[in-house]
Amino acid sequence: MELHQPAVEELDLTTILQALGDPVRLSIVRELAVTGEQVCGSMALSVSKSTRSHHFKTLREAGLTETRIEGTHRHISLRRDDVESRFPGLLDAVLQPQPAAL
Amino acid sequence: MELHQPAVEELDLTTILQALGDPVRLSIVRELAVTGEQVCGSMALSVSKSTRSHHFKTLREAGLTETRIEGTHRHISLRRDDVESRFPGLLDAVLQPQPAAL
């Protein structure tokens, strides 16, 4: 099974920003930045299975994450170096500790 | 007339990313970063007047821009310092010259 994953030179800023502009997807990206590769199903997310799949797909198609299939599991990891090489500083800015909302 | 413009401590990362994740809004932000304050109606955008108004509203409500009303004109400017103070490096990363898409 082939999953579409854009090449680094295909990464598009608007698409990346759209993918990051969702609280659940941003939390996935934050978690992957800390933990490294994870099995998709093992991530604790307070959304339904279909919503979860949609978010993983959005992140993958934007080029923020890589999905690796191994047997019946999907492993997801952050394409930090790829995103950094194309949009330097963007992920660092997004992943920095957030100021508390007032 | 009062326009809602969030205080700097109310700026929300997801909302900012959503606002930036649109090609027209991103082009408005880029232009304002170069030109400084502009009269809304004077910006050359290839969208209808209502779409344009929607984009200006989205940017203002996200806290990316400030709108100042003077007579019958609205003047729009980028809240670069406010966004920088809350999300350091984010606007610089977004505004840097983009690599050509292949």
Please give the full DSSP string across A69-99, using - where no structure is assigned.
EETTEEEEEE-HHHHHHHSTTHHHHHHSPPP
Contact call for A89 and B86, based on CB within 8 A = no
Contact call for B89 and A89, based on CB within 8 A = yes
Residue A42 has pLDDT above 90, yes or no: no
**Residue of B10, B11, B13, B92 to mutate, testing the A interface (most A Cβ within 10 Å of its Cβ):** B13
CB of A26 within 8 Å of any CB in chain B?
Answer: yes
Write the ipTM: 0.89
Contact call for B21 and A26, based on CB within 8 A = no
pLDDT value of position A90: 97
Contact call for A21 and B21, based on CB within 8 A = yes
Residues of B in contact with A19 (CB under 8 A): 21
Other C-beta atoms lying within 10 Å of the C-beta of residue B58: 19
Residue B100 has pLDDT above 90, yes or no: no
Contact call for B26 and A13, based on CB within 8 A = yes
pLDDT value of position A100: 65
Q: Are B78 and B29 in contact (CB under 8 A)?
A: yes
Average pLDDT over residues B63-82: 94
Distances (CA, A) of A85 to A38, B26, B41, B88, B91: 23, 20, 37, 19, 17
Comparing alpha-carbon positions, the chain B residue that sits nearest to A22 is: B14
pLDDT tens, A10-38? 999 999 999 999 999 999 999 999 999 99
pTM: 0.91
Does A21 or B44 have the greater pLDDT score? A21
Q: Counting every residue, how long is chain B?
A: 102
Give the rounded distance of the alpha carbon of B75 from its chain centre: 12
Residues of A in contact with B87 (CB under 8 A): 93-94, 96
Q: Are A83 and A11 in contact (CB under 8 A)?
A: yes
Average pLDDT over residues B64-85: 94
Going by C-alpha positions, the residue among A97, A13, A29, A18 that lies closest to residue B86 is A97
